[in-house]
Structure 1
Amino acid sequence: MLTRRLVLGAGLAAAGPLLPARAAAPFRGGQNAGWYRFRLGAFECTVLSDGALDLGPPHPTFGGTAATAAEVEAVLRDARLPTGTLPGQINCLVVNTGREIVLLDAGLGPSALFGPGAGTIGQALAASGIAAAEVDVVAFTHAHGDHAWGIADAQGRDVFPNARFLMTGADLDFWTAESGLSLPEPLRSLVAGTRDVVLPRRARFTTLAPNGEVVSGIRAVPTPGHTLGHVSFVVESQGQALLVMGDVANHSVIALARPDWPFGFDADPALASQTRRRTLDMAATDRVQVLGYHFPFPGLGHVENRGQGFAFLPTPWRWG
């Protein structure tokens, strides 16, 4: 009977005697600068990686009191993912419309708030051939540190010296209010960090309506719940569209498979769950491509209905 063991054994025998072992090669470590470029109609888009972050323990970060740790672990196990950790990516998007260069979310910057793996957007930007001084507009889905703090470096200097900034009034007001410094942790530290980067540049911030236009071809759509002023962005050119979801869904497996489970960083968990299901259902029904901010790099793909929730189908990587 032909078995895998016999086939492997025959292959090894046919290969002849083993060669002498080579000296051990040193491990080099590190990764390449993370950027991925693609076309969307007439627009040139580049996903920039600001590195990785730790979202915390799978439970109660996902599920809260609505699910048990075993239920959350089962979702991860079914996807062949580790059950003891919850790593995430930070995927920022640059859109060159031919008239403006627009950055959608700016990453975490030098802060180690979510672990040591973030803060690489500058390297990715340079490696992609885009100068930070060329960025005309930075628009934010919301004001959390991993989306907004990347506009300043470790010394507090401008990373994007020529950009104007757009953020919804609800987020701009809440996350820069002095009263936020009296909130309990971790909100107090989040407010303090956002104040540190926004207030010195406040004159360059313009209030973005929840359904307002960023530039021609890029518009905001209201997706509240994660923060009260959270928006997503629809990028459209020549009949092609991309939905930049921000933090509507914070994990490519759990948040889609169980969209009604609360997420620990949502300001209004019930509203966020409603927004998540509505947005994912729209993406699946309309077959629109999405960009998940914390999904595996580069975060591009489609959503399909599956079971009681949804599933993420990554877009195949295209070269050239």
Structure 2
Amino acid sequence: MTVSMTRRAALTGAATLPLAGAATPVLASSESQDDAGAAMPIARTFTLGEMPVTTLLDATALREGPKEIFGGNVSEEEFRKVSEENFISSEAAQFYFTPTLVETGGELVLFDTGLGQGGLPRALAAAGVTPEAIDVVVITHMHPDHIGGLMTDGAPTFPNARYVMGATEYNFWSAMDPGHRVGDLVAQNVTPLTERTTFIEDGARVASGITAVASHGHTPGHMCFMLDSGGRQLMLTADLANHYVWSFAHPDWAVSFDADKPAATQSRRQVLRMLAADRVPMIGYHMPFPAAGFVETRGDGFRYVPVSYQLMG
């Protein structure tokens, strides 16, 4: 899939990035709690064929005003009705930030690096992994909650890793004028790593059993990644759909985080339709932790079905 996106459209989406104006996130720790005070795990390992896949809770935060974020083109009444039908509040939403670690058999591959506030290293430690052990870091897109953890005190957080990211994505954000939030963070956290980076396009093979799938719209070069092992598949959907109810049940609802909303809707429908038809599980960066689930078709939209024990072996 290709998409043409103007700089103005991308800047509009970037102005409403996750956590902009939100409450301070609760960082992952051995005693992490959600905003209701409930204890939460911070690392969860699934099995895909012969490939261990571990979701890592970097942070979680409660944010008010979800209608403006996830239902910009619908009425207050419709948004409230859909929320009530799904047993969730229309006044606030819990956000989760979940990088994923994949063991290919030869390499440890980390997808996205969180907010850069210390949660990801603690989650990795809970999984028994040090930053030095990471072989490959893959960036799905360059919003701050995905690239914030690339650097620590001016040095690479993952000193032994090679890096993989979309060429379209990097080219767009690295061309921003100084003073732009995302552009400045890209210059600070991403550009210093370019000599160790492979820039990819749709269909690229990232590592053994890992293939890039273009899903542009959320950002100019947003990518999902398909994992294959032992005849089984799982897709890392990144920010394709950012809420497990609103973005699934109504994929056409305008999401403020999406820079090119028509393209994001097209990508959402295309990928979710494929996951539902082929019964392929997914891991979504902002899904309720541990962030893994299935997709089923429901009416004109979809339903997210959280994993229970299906990927345990």
Bin for the TM-score computed over the shorter chain: 0.7 to 0.9
Shift of 1:170: 0.9
Q: 2:55 aligns with which of 47, 59, 63?
A: 47
Q: Determine if the alignment matches structure 1 residue 283 to structure 2 residue 275.
A: yes
Tell me the alpha carbon deviations over residues 134-157 of structure 1, each in whole angstroms, 9 at most, x when there is no partner. 11101111111111111112x222
1:55 shift after superposition: 5.8
Q: Where in structure 1 do 4 or more consecutive aligned residues deviate above 6 Å?
A: none
Distance in 1 (CA, whole Å) between partners of 2:41 and 2:124 is 9
Structure with bigger gyration radius:
1
Matching residue within 149, 170, 173 for 1:172: 170
Q: 1:253 maps to what in 2?
A: 245
Amino acid aligned to 1:67? V
| Secondary structure of 1:203's aligned partner | helix
Report the CA distance shift for 1:72/1:144 in structure 2 as closer, same or farther (over 3 A).
same
TM normalised by structure 1 equals 0.82
Q: Offset at 1:246?
A: 0.6
* SS of match in other structure, 1:277: helix
The equivalent residue for 2:102 is 95
Of 71, 76, 82, which aligns to 2:78?
A: 71
C-alpha root-mean-square deviation of aligned residues, in Å?
1.8
Equivalent pair of 1:58/1:72 in contact (CA under 8 Å): no
Q: Structure 1's 86 and 180: CA in aligned 2 closer, same or farther, altered over 3 A?
A: farther
Q: Distance in 2 between matches of 1:55 and 1:215?
A: 36
Alpha-carbon shift at residue 276 of structure 1 (Å): 0.4
In the alignment, what sits opposite 1:81? 88
Shift of 1:82: 1.8
Q: What secondary structure sits across from 1:288 in the alignment?
A: coil
Residues 45 and 52 in structure 2, CA contact (< 8 A), matched pair in contact too: yes
Give the C-alpha shift of residue 204 in structure 1.
1.6
Q: Map of 1:46-195 to 2, 5 A cutoff?
A: 46-53=54-61, 57-64=65-72, 66-110=73-117, 119-153=118-152, 155-177=153-175, 179-181=176-178, 188-195=180-187
Aligned to 1:227, what secondary structure does the other structure show? coil
Query: Following TM superposition, by how much is the alpha carbon of 1:191 offset from its aligned partner in structure 2, in angstroms?
Result: 1.9
Q: Could you list the runs of 5+ residues in structure 1 that have no partner in the other structure?
A: 1-27, 111-118, 183-187
Counterpart of 2:6 in structure 1 is: none
Which residue, out of 308, 316, 320, partners 2:308? Answer: 316
Map 1:293-304 onto structure 2 (within 5 A).
293-304=285-296
* 2:261 pairs with 1:273: no
Higher relative contact order (CA 8 A, sep 6+): 2
Matched to 1:41, the amino acid is G
- SS of the residue aligned with 1:245? strand
Read off the aligned partner of 2:295 and give its amino acid letter: V
Give the AA of the match of 2:178. L
How far has the Cα of 1:319 moved from its partner?
6.7
